[in-house]
């Protein structure tokens, strides 16, 4: 659980996502995706949010967490195992709640859980030139992986992203070692 910073007005808790959150998470994804439009990334802005079926699967697998203000989700993170690491599939913050360290709190929550499970690292894939992507993750302790460092699972993720058209903008995989392995 995180408590709001002094300049925040709401109390924010991190908890496991559940069925009651799923439609709200889609709304968060749509709103967060809209921020890409200002960068000329309409394909990303117009992308559909994760389906209810996909969100349900992450929930049932204990791999979806929400940051909630007054029990209403304002951000979420989805995680899946990839090659022995915790891979952050998606982290999204409602733009109205951006710049309050909520995304970082979700990442730290995932890092704590992964370290407690003995996993060696967090991984993710992201856009290089989007300020709230690779530059942000670097500030959160991630480093860009060189092509030769990509594991089979990360190569598969990158291939799927390329098929979806995301390689129109530079993308990278990143890793944050957890010091457990």
pLDDT at 164: 86
What is the rounded CA–CA span in Å between residue 181 and residue 178?
Answer: 8
Is 4 inside any structural domain? no
**CA angle, 103 then 19 then 157, to 5°:** 55
pLDDT at 180: 53
The total of other beta-carbon atoms located within 10 Å of residue 104's CB is 17
The token pair at 99 is: 């710049």
pLDDT at 61: 93
Is 152 inside any structural domain? yes
What is the rounded CA–CA span in Å between residue 14 and residue 130?
Answer: 26
Q: Are 91 and 106 in contact (CB under 8 A)?
A: yes
pLDDT at 40: 86
pLDDT at 181: 45
**Number of structural domains found in the chain:** 1
Is 64 inside any structural domain? yes
What is the rounded CA–CA span in Å between residue 46 and residue 37?
Answer: 8
The boundaries of the domain holding residue 111 are: 12-177
Is 102 inside any structural domain? yes
SS3 9: coil
Between the CA atoms of 6, 8, 11 and 14, what dihedral angle is there, to the nearest 10 degrees? -100
Q: Are 93 and 28 in contact (CB under 8 A)?
A: yes
pLDDT at 3: 39
Q: Please identify which residue in the block is written with the tokens 């709001």.
A: 4
Segments in the chain below pLDDT 50: 1-9, 181
Is 7 inside any structural domain? no
Is 3 inside any structural domain? no
Is 133 inside any structural domain? yes
Q: How far is CA 28 from CA 23, 40, 50, 66, 149, in A?
A: 9, 20, 11, 11, 33
Is 2 inside any structural domain? no
CATH no. for residue 155? 3.40.630.30
Q: Are 145 and 174 in contact (CB under 8 A)?
A: yes
pLDDT at 1: 38
């Amino acid at each position: 659980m995180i408590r709001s910073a002094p300049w925040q007005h709401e109390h924010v808790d991190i908890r496991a996502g559940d069925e009651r959150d799923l439609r709200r998470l889609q709304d968060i994804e749509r709103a967060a995706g809209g921020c890409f439009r200002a960068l000329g990334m309409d394909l990303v802005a117009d992308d559909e949010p994760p389906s209810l079926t996909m969100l349900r699967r992450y929930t049932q697998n204990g791999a979806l967490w929400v940051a909630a203000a007054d029990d209403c989700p304002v951000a979420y993170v989805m995680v899946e195992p990839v090659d022995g690491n915790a891979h952050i599939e998606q982290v999204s913050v409602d733009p109205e709640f951006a710049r309050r360290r909520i995304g970082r709190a979700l990442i730290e929550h995932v890092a704590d859980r992964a370290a407690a499970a003995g996993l060696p690292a967090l991984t993710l894939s992201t856009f290089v030139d989007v300020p709230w992507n690779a530059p942000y993750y670097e500030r959160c302790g991630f480093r860009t992986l060189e092509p030769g460092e990509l594991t089979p699972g990360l190569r598969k993720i990158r291939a799927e992203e390329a098929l979806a058209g995301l390689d129109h903008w530079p993308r990278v995989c990143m890793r944050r070692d957890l010091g457990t392995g």
